[in-house]
Amino acid sequence: MPKQTYFNLPPKKREAIIDGAKQAFARQHYDRVTIDSIVARAGIPKGSFYQYFSGKDDLYSHMFANIGTEKYQLLVQELESRPHGTFTEAILVLMHRASEFDGQDADMVMLKQRFLQECPQQVKQQIMQRMVPESMELFAHVIRRFVGNGEFRQDIPIGQAAYMLTASVLMLDTYPLEEGEDHRQAFKTMVDMLAAGLRLRS
């Protein structure tokens, strides 16, 4: 968690620090990223860094929290601006927009890859503890919509259903694909199966 002095900074200064961190962590192995390389890209004195963060791990966790919040807000806006469609269509649209967000530039693509491959386990767990609830709330938002319109049962455990979707997304890259199958097709099948279990019985 950043120190209060960081939150007292003007928004443009905070943005410059986050952008500098993105560049540093995207372009080098996590273990080789130094405070010097971060502050050089952020344009701040090294001494100031420790007025804002306790160390590299602290900045890294906050950077991902910042990215996650930005993505969450984007996806909520996407949900609110679109017609309902089917449950599977709504979920796949969210996944497509999330993928576009993650691939918006080369640094974001590398940042995600390095997070999965290089991030220390303890730091990764801290980040995941924030990401999972945000993802669950987003999926719960979609599920509530379909409960509200009468398509899904009133008695479904929304939190558990949202967690199933979240776990599927987080572990999708590890799913063993069958011949001719891709991860999008596999995920669509998973969502269809979940939706079938949530619908009202005829």
What are the phi and psi torsion angles at 84 (to 5°)?
A: -60, -55
- Model confidence at 78, in pLDDT bands (50, 70, 90)? confident
Please tell me the predicted confidence (pLDDT) of residue 1. 85
What is the C-alpha to C-alpha distance for residues 173 and 88, in angstroms, rounded to an integer?
19
- pLDDT by residue (tens digit) across 99-111? 999 888 898 999 9
Pick the CATH number of 4-198 from 1.10.3720.10, 3.40.50.720, 3.40.50.1220, 1.10.357.10: 1.10.357.10
What is the C-alpha to C-alpha distance for residues 142 and 148, in angstroms, rounded to an integer?
10
What is the C-alpha to C-alpha distance for residues 194 and 136, in angstroms, rounded to an integer?
15
- Does the pLDDT of residue 47 top 70, yes or no? yes
- Model confidence at 173, in pLDDT bands (50, 70, 90)? confident
- pLDDT by residue (tens digit) across 110-150? 998 899 899 999 999 989 888 899 999 999 999 999 999 99
- pLDDT by residue (tens digit) across 8-19? 999 999 999 999
- Written as six digits, the tokens of 196 are 């079938």
Q: Which of 158, 128, 131 shows the shortest CA–CA distance to 142?
A: 158
- Does the pLDDT of residue 202 top 60, yes or no? no
- Written as six digits, the tokens of 51 are 């007025």
Whether the pTM exceeds 0.85: the reply is: no
